[in-house]
Amino acid sequence: MKLAIHNWMRAEPLESTIIRIAAMGYTHLEIQGTPENYNTKEVKALLEAHGIQCWGSVTLMLEERNMLAKDLTQRQMSVQYVLDLAKMVKELGGSVISLVPATVGKIIPDARPEEEWQWAIEGIKELYAYTEANGLKIGIEPINRFETYFINRGAQALALAEAVGPNCGVCLDTFHMNLEEEDMFETMKKVGHRLVNFHVADNNRMAPGMGHIDWSRIMSTLKEIEYDKVLSVEFCAPMDRTPANPYPNSIDTAPVGLSDEQLKFLQDHGSSAVTEEFYSMLTQQSIDTLKPFL
């Protein structure tokens, strides 16, 4: 297996991220789901210059993006966003789209369950036609109940993937599984060959190794189901604003290049702008914990 990391957790120039992860021994990047921000030719050249490959991208389902919206135009806009993201991944030589169908942070539905289910299938099938034609994989990702009401568990994501098509997959995340699954290891086995991406963070969403998740058992289960692709690091450190903070230099009080939308997204995830020192420590901790298993 190879090791990737997301770059949405800290606002900084992409080159800074790539230089850091290359020096630490990462081989892949799961690039932030903002295709409008990237010139793919420039990004591809930057990745190649530092020996990093694009693994894929994760949807940032924010604001009006919602494949379950009652409004048809809103649903179509949301599908187009993911198509744009998939095109970016293809141009960067990547492999996977980690897809959260509904708006992150929306926990109250607008329609009947059967309506939403059908809208989700219809929208993802449109994306699936593109990914199948272009050698990409969709991984439907369950996230916890405090971030969405729709897909929270692996069994739900698996059912949706099966309804879309034989090559539609699932992306599991250790942080979310720790909150929602009765037995995360059995869920991994049930998803089995449909697992196309695997996000890693500890139970507290700190870097792997900074909580109580059993990484040895995680890795042995992945080997049991013959998942041999990429582990994608996606920590999102909770911010301690009290005197009990064990990392007093963790909060960046004057972030540069952080948009209001990005800040809100981080805050909605219980985090905030973090300093480069703290972010680098989490990035290093992740690879130190996981590399012995690769």
Per-residue pLDDT tens over the stretch 122-181: 999 999 999 999 999 999 999 999 999 999 999 999 999 999 999 999 999 999 999 999
- What are the tens digits of pLDDT across the range 41-60? 999 999 999 999 999 999 99
CA–CA gap between residue 263 and residue 85 (Å, rounded): 21
How distant is the alpha carbon of residue 4 from its chain centre?
11
Q: What is the pLDDT of residue 62?
A: 87
> How big is the CA angle at 234 (ends 89 and 276), to the nearest 5 degrees?
100
CA–CA gap between residue 222 and residue 203 (Å, rounded): 18
Provide the residue type at 80 as one letter: Q
- Position 39 confidence tier, pLDDT thresholds 50, 70, 90: very high
Could you tell me the pTM of the whole model?
0.94
Owner of token pair 């009006």? 64
Q: Using alpha carbons, select from 142, 124, 151 the residue that is nearest to residue 199.
A: 142
Q: Using alpha carbons, select from 40, 11, 8, 81 the residue that is nearest to residue 258.
A: 11
Is the model's pLDDT at 18 over the cut of 90? yes
Yes or no: say if 239 and 198 are a contact pair by the CB < 8 Å rule: no
The whole-number average pLDDT for the span 218-244 is 94
180: Cβ–Cβ under 8 A, 6 or more apart, which residues? 142, 144, 145, 152, 153
- Position 238 confidence tier, pLDDT thresholds 50, 70, 90: confident
